[in-house]
Amino acid sequence: MHTYSKIGLAALMLAGLSQSGAFAAFLNYSDLTLAPESYNNGSYSSGYFESNDFIYSYAGGESGGYNWWAGMAYSNITDNTTPGYANQYSAITGGGLNSDAQTVAGENYVIAYQDVYNGINPSVDLNPESGLDIQIDGIYLTNTTYAYLAIKDGNDGLEYPVAKKFGGESGDDKDFFYVTITGYDKDYNETGKYDFYLADYRFDDNSLDYVVDTWTYIDFKEAGFTMGTTSFTLEFTTSDVGEWGANTPFYAALGGMNVSAIPEPSTYAAIFGAMSLGFALIRRKNSKK
């Protein structure tokens, strides 16, 4: 028996066990209604919107004659060339993900913004009233146009920009911008924490420096998360910090997530038993050679 056949046997056994009760799906934001080239930020109020039984919280209000918002908004804006705060609801991809996880202009996506001043971090939670026993397996992230152009070109849309062009004039500055994803289970126990670099200029070889400009999948299992993640928060960190705090806009765009059923304890036992049996058969066959 060839090696690939041995691996295939274990995979087939696992698949056979899971066929009756397995569930896995990719969730995008096509269930949210928006006019073309528009966004919804909660109209500068506090609350949440819901997509596919997951809750996306936001906050907002009026202060000093200005409206403000933070947390989560959803958008389908395709303008990925205009810099600055006025274009804060745009993903650098120019579109969200369709049902096949392919980028399509005009598809909905979510904008996440961390408001450090008001202590508001973007968060996503499975609605506890949904009755669903599912977990988040991973999420798709990319940069917003606002953050991307501030990092890539030092262009934050201001007459006198405060954002730094990453790498500096020489290109040798070890700049970075990342988002920390923290997962939680249904009882709000932490399931994992992972730093995803939206821009990384720390390489000795400057040709390796990058700013994320495509939808990128973060697999929670590969990132070290334990089973049962039903919610997560986002928190940003940048090397570009001035007297008044971070100069890099604390934004990211979320294109969707993969979810699956949380296996019951009996399923774990069955899977372990099947794998043990499979490997025992393999060892027995090898010992006869």
pLDDT for res 67: 93
pLDDT for res 63: 87
The pTM for the full model equals 0.84
Residue 3 pLDDT more than 50? Answer: no
pLDDT for res 116: 96
pLDDT for res 285: 46
pLDDT for res 195: 98
Instruction: Answer whether residue 181 is part of any domain.
Output: yes
Residue 4 pLDDT more than 80? Answer: no
Instruction: Answer whether residue 163 is part of any domain.
Output: yes
Mean pLDDT score of the chain: 88
Q: Could you read off the pLDDT of 216-265 as tens digits, one per residue?
A: 999 999 999 999 999 999 999 999 999 999 999 999 999 999 999 997 75
Residue 50 pLDDT more than 70? Answer: yes
Residue 32 pLDDT more than 50? Answer: yes
Whether the Cβ atoms of residue 60 and residue 66 lie closer than 8 Å to each other: no
Q: How far apart are CA 84 and CA 150, in angstroms?
A: 8
- Residue 211, classed as helix, strand or coil, is strand
Q: How far apart are CA 223 and CA 8, in angstroms?
A: 25
pLDDT for res 249: 98
Instruction: Answer whether residue 38 is part of any domain.
Output: yes
Number of domains in the chain: 1
Instruction: Answer whether residue 135 is part of any domain.
Output: yes
Q: The domain containing residue 157 runs over which residues?
A: 24-263
224, two tokens: 């070290």
Residue 284 pLDDT more than 80? Answer: no
Instruction: Answer whether residue 277 is part of any domain.
Output: no
Q: Could you read off the pLDDT of 166-177 as tens digits, one per residue?
A: 999 999 999 999
The DSSP line for 80-115 is -S--SGGGTTBBTTSEEE-TTS-EEET--EEEEE-B
pLDDT for res 23: 83
Q: Could you read off the pLDDT of 189-202 as tens digits, one per residue?
A: 999 999 999 999 99
Torsion of CA 180, 183, 184, 189, to 10 degrees: -70
Instruction: Answer whether residue 234 is part of any domain.
Output: yes
Residue 137 pLDDT more than 90? Answer: yes
Instruction: Answer whether residue 219 is part of any domain.
Output: yes
Q: Assign 184 a pLDDT band (cuts: 50, 70, 90).
A: very high
pLDDT for res 265: 58
Q: Which residue stretches of the chain are H helix?
A: 3-18, 145-153, 265-287
Q: What are phi and psi of 103, to 5 degrees?
A: -70, 130
Q: How far apart are CA 206 and CA 184, in angstroms?
A: 36
Q: Could you read off the pLDDT of 74-115 as tens digits, one per residue?
A: 999 999 999 999 999 999 999 999 999 999 999 999 999 999
Q: Specify the CATH number for the domain of residue 188.
A: 2.60.120.1350
Q: Assign 165 a pLDDT band (cuts: 50, 70, 90).
A: very high
More confident site: 276 or 216: 216
Of 23-37, 128-142, 237-251, 255-269, give the lowest mean pLDDT range.
255-269
Instruction: Answer whether residue 74 is part of any domain.
Output: yes
Q: Which residues contact 280 (CB under 8 A, 6 or more apart)?
A: none
